[in-house]
Structures are given as C-alpha cells and as structure tokens.
C-alpha cells in the first residue's frame, strides 16, 4: 500500500476510469436489440482508429490470435510469405506460418534496426511466388518502427499482400491503413487501446478481401469472411465478448474526443521525454532511430542486470517495467509509455529507473536527468511530431 502501482509496460497498460466504469455495467445479450448500438458505435470508432473505410473485425482473443487469423485466412498452405524478422514478434510470424503450412521466407534485420524497404523489394523480385509480406508496424521486443508506408508502396504494384501487426502502433503512432496501402492491419486491446487484454482487431483492404475470398480458412473459429458478413449486421459469429466491447466503445469515444493527431503528439512527447531522460543518465538506447512511440528500450551496461532493475523499481517504487525479450532478456529494460499514461507516469518511471539502476550497481553521473527529460517533453510538445 506504500506505493501506487504504475503499469509502465508494453501491455497490459493502465485503464481510464471511464472504461472501467463502463465495463462494470449490467451484462447485455449479444443477440438482442440492446447490443446493436454498442456494435454500431464500435464499428465507427474502429474505422476512425484504423483510418480506414473498411470494416474492422473484433475477435475474442489476444493479439496473436489476429496474427494467426491473418495467416490462415489470407494464405493457403504451401504459399510463401516473407517474414521481416527484427525481433521476437517478427519471429512469431515465421512460427505461425510453419504451424499452418505456409512457407516462411525469413528476412533477418538486426535487433534495434528497421527493415530497409529496398531489401523487401529485392526479396519480392527475387522470388515472385511470395504472396505476402508479414511485418510489425512496431516491433515491441526492440522498440523499432518499421517503415509501413514505404512497404505499402513496395507491395502496391505487386501481387503480395502487406500484412502489418500494429499491436503496439495502432492508437500510439500514425498507422493510417488506407493511406499507407496496408492490406491487412491488426492490433490487440491491451497496448494502446486502454483496455484489458482479450480482444484483437483485424481489417483488410479490397486487395486483401479479394485474396481472402480464394482461401478456405483452416481454422473454424477464425473465419474472416464470415465475421465480415456478420459485422455488417452489428453481430459476431460466436458469442461476442460483450463486456470488453462495452469498454471498447468507451475507449474509442475517448480517442475520438481527444483526436488521433493530438494523441500521437502526446505519445511523441512522452517518447522524447523517456529517451532524453535515459540518455542523460548515460544509458544507451536500443533503437537509435526509427523508434517506437509507445515504449523505450534501454540497454543495461555490463554488470547491471535488467531483471534486477525491474525487480527494484517494482518493489521500491511500484513502477512495473518490462525487461528485454529473447537473447536480450537481461540486457534491456523496456519502459512502456502507451495507453492511459501521461507526463507524471513517465516522470515516475524515469525516477524509479534511476533509483533502481543505482541500487542494482549502476553509476549515474548526471544529477539533472529528470529535468532534462521534462525539458525534452515540453520542447517536443511545442515542436510536434515528425510528419508521416
């Protein structure tokens, strides 16, 4: 009870009071009239969030479920798919393909770096039988933004579909599905969307739906064409996750009220704040450029364990941080700043990081790192984020 718990991880994230209260209301029946306006609002709000004229389909599963739904509904077993692998979630694309019979063609990218669109174009030209490019809009394991808009221009004139996992991008940094030519965009509920885990969302372009129509889905639960038909009647194929959808309606209302542009500007400022703070402490950032706007990956110097830092931040200050993933597990601390978080949360996160880092044996020479972080926040708000 000494400390307030602050969930500064790349999901789950803290929830606004409005969303929590909305989810506390009485249950509705998903096949009765009272539910229809909920779905009506959700559909409009999701189109705004995805920046698309297409329907966005909610699925009752975590984000990975939508990744699997994309692979099993857009591609037949035996088709080759280019998987951009610059982190743990990029690797997951390849694993999903292998399990369902698609053939992953892996494009390795150094962890902490973004893929070069020219490499993707070269790979597609080298093997015209590749039917899709599977990539993360934001690779959460490293904190890198891949250039989705540029990849959209690469796939636009080709047969391959562009499938983007936007789980830590949608509602955090710009990812306008239609303008960027994304054929399939998906996300989950527990990162930028200010909701509990348990929902995923997926939308397809005209080109994506045309491909989908040629594929017999290999999984009974995830049938995107069936869901597409249903959602136009404000329904889902199976029992709707009613409570979460009611919370979603509220979070989408907040997104529209605040506005995506202002939201992105806030996320950018928080990112600049976190990066300035960590850099002032003498810590190295894993992603030097093309960094995600919802988390900051900070390298620990030799001799300081990331798990030890995270343990101390939580025990002493109530700040829950994530460590690295894969081979970087104990080498990287990931400070999440996505969802319902603000200036005060990031300041608390940086303060806890500084204390925990010193406690874990690290040395920080700079006494005014937090002031520098605050200055960077103000400056970034004044300047605004870079153009897409």
Ligand X SMILES: *Cc1c(COP(=O)(O)O)cnc(C)c1O
Stretch that binds ligand X, among 56-64, 98-106, 306-314, 364-372 (CB under 6 A): 56-64
Q: Which residue has the tokens 């393909």?
A: 97
Shortest CB 73 distance to ligand X, Å: 17
- Cβ proximity to ligand X, 168 vs 251, nearer residue: 168
91 binds ligand X (CB under 6 A): no
Q: How far is the CB of 366 from ligand X (least distance, A)?
A: 31
Between 171 and 362, CB nearer to ligand X: 171
Q: Are 331 and 337 in contact (CB under 8 A)?
A: no
Region binding ligand X by CB under 6 A among candidate stretches 41-49, 93-101, 160-168, 267-275: 160-168
**Reduced to 3 states, what is the DSSP secondary structure of residue 84?**
strand
| Residue 334 annotated as binding site | yes
Cβ(184)–Cβ(222) under 8 Å? no
φ, ψ of residue 187 to 5 degrees: the values are -155, 180
The answer for residues whose C-beta is within 8 angstroms of residue 111's C-beta and 6 or more apart is: 86, 87, 141, 142, 286, 326, 328
Interface stretch with ligand X, choices 135-143, 224-232, 248-256, 328-336 (CB under 6 A): 135-143
The stretch near ligand X (CB under 6 A) out of 59-67, 96-104, 301-309, 378-386 is 59-67
336 binds ligand X (CB under 6 A): no
| Alpha carbons 271 and 252: distance in angstroms, whole number | 22
Nearer to ligand X, 190 or 234 (CB): 190
Interface residue with ligand X among 35, 50, 75, 89 (CB under 6 A) is 89
Question: What values do phi and psi take at 359, rounded to 5?
Answer: -60, -30
168 near ligand X, judged by CB under 6 A: yes
Task: Please tell me the distance from the alpha carbon of residue 159 to that of residue 57, in angstroms, as a whole number.
Answer: 24
According to CB under 6 A, which residues from 137 to 156 bind ligand X? 138, 140
Biggest distance spanned by C-alpha atoms of the chain: 63
What single-letter DSSP state applies at residue 115?
P
| Joined tokens for residue 238 | 């199976």
372 scored as a contact of ligand X (CB under 6 A): no
Residues 6 or more apart in contact with residue 380 via CB below 8 angstroms:
268, 269, 271, 272, 273
Q: How far apart are CA 270 and CA 280, in angstroms?
A: 15
**Binding segment for ligand X among 40-48, 58-66, 237-245, 341-349 (CB under 6 A)?**
58-66
Q: Does 290 bind ligand X (CB under 6 A)?
A: no
Does 76 bind ligand X (CB under 6 A)? Our answer is no
Q: Which residue is nearest to ligand X (CB)?
A: 63
Q: Strand 319-320 vs strand 130-136: parallel, antiparallel, or unpaired? A: unpaired
Binding site for ligand X (CB under 6 A): 10-11, 62-64, 89, 136, 138, 140, 165, 167-168, 188, 191
């Amino acid at each position: 009870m000494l400390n307030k718990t602050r969930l500064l991880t790349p999901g789950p994230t803290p929830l606004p009071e409005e969303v929590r209260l909305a989810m506390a209301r009485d249950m509705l029946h998903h096949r009765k009239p009272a539910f229809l306006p909920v779905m009506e609002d959700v559909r409009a709000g999701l189109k705004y969030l995805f920046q698309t004229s297409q329907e966005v389909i909610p699925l009752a599963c975590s984000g990975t479920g939508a990744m699997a739904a994309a692979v099993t509904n857009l591609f037949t077993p035996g088709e080759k798919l280019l998987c951009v692998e610059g982190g743990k979630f990029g690797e997951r694309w390849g694993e999903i393909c292998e399990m369902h019979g698609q053939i992953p063609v892996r494009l390795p990218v150094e962890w902490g770096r973004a893929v070069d669109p020219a490499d993707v174009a070269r790979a597609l030209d080298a093997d015209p039988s590749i039917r899709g490019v599977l990539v993360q809009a934001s690779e959460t394991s490293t904190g890198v933004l891949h250039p989705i808009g540029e990849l959209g221009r690469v796939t636009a004139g080709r047969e391959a579909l562009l499938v983007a996992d936007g789980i830590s991008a949608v509602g955090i940094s710009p990812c306008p599905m239609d303008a960027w030519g994304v054929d399939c965009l998906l996300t989950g509920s527990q990162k930028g969307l200010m909701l509990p885990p348990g929902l995923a969302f997926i939308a397809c372009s005209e080109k994506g739906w045309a491909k989908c129509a040629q594929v017999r889905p290999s999984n009974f639960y995830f049938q995107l064409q069936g869901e597409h038909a249903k959602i136009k009647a404000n329904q889902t194929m199976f029992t709707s996750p009613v409570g979460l959808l009611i919370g979603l309606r509220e979070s989408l209302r907040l997104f529209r009220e605040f506005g995506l542009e202002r939201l992105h500007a806030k996320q950018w400022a928080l990112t600049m704040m976190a990066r300035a703070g960590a850099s002032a402490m003498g810590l190295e950032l894993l992603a030097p450029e093309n960094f995600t706007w919802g988390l900051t990956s900070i390298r620990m110097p030799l001799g300081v364990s990331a798990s030890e830092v995270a343990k101390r931040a939580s025990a002493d200050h109530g700040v829950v941080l994530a460590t690295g993933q894969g081979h970087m597990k104990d080498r990287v601390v990931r400070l999440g700043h996505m969802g319902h978080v603000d200036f005060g949360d990031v300041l608390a996160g940086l303060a806890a990081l500084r204390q925990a880092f010193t406690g874990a044996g690290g040395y920080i020479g700079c006494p005014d790192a937090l002031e520098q972080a605050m200055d960077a926040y103000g400056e970034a708000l004044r300047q605004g984020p870079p153009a897409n």
